[in-house]
Amino acid sequence: MVYDNSKLKIAMQNWLDTCCHVGFGEESAGNLLASFEAHLARTADLKRSPGRVVFGQQLKQFGMDQRKVAGLSYWSGLALIDPPAKPVKTQYKKTEQALEKRVADKQSALESEAEKKVREKQKALLKFKKEIVKETAESVRAVGGELPDNTELPDND
């Protein structure tokens, strides 16, 4: 069974006519695919994007040439009329997301560890204060003095 991609060809032709200068220029594959997907969202020519492999095959059928530089694909023979201000990174997107998650997890673990240390220091300080009050009370009683009425004595732990 042969796949009928006539709708895809029509959508690609509409995109080339409205969003690209054909015949000259060079553009990254990520920018082209992002532009095509945005075009599909605006026009609803297709229900979903064909994906980068099929998109690349269609560009070849329209006479565009592909070249790779440092692992990134570029297409010659067309340029976007309205290129994005910030280039679209698609090749390392999952790696970047995993790295961001790892950094966030590490930050969360560090914050949890810091909170734990703060709680431990607060407990130690409270224990120290209780010991000081207790020792002071014992010293005052030893010399026959009385504690002020507002003095809080620690519980006997």
Number of folded domains that form the chain: 1
Q: Which domain holds residue 19?
A: 6-90
Residue 109 lies in a domain: no
Count CA within 13 A, CB hemisphere, residue 35: 25
Residue 131 lies in a domain: no
3 state SS of 146: coil
CB 3 within 8 A of CB 50: no
Q: Give the pLDDT mean for 6-22.
A: 89
Residue 62 lies in a domain: yes
pTM of the model: 0.52
Q: Tens of pLDDT along 76-109?
A: 888 898 877 765 555 566 667 777 888 888 888 8
DSSP bridge partners of 67: 74
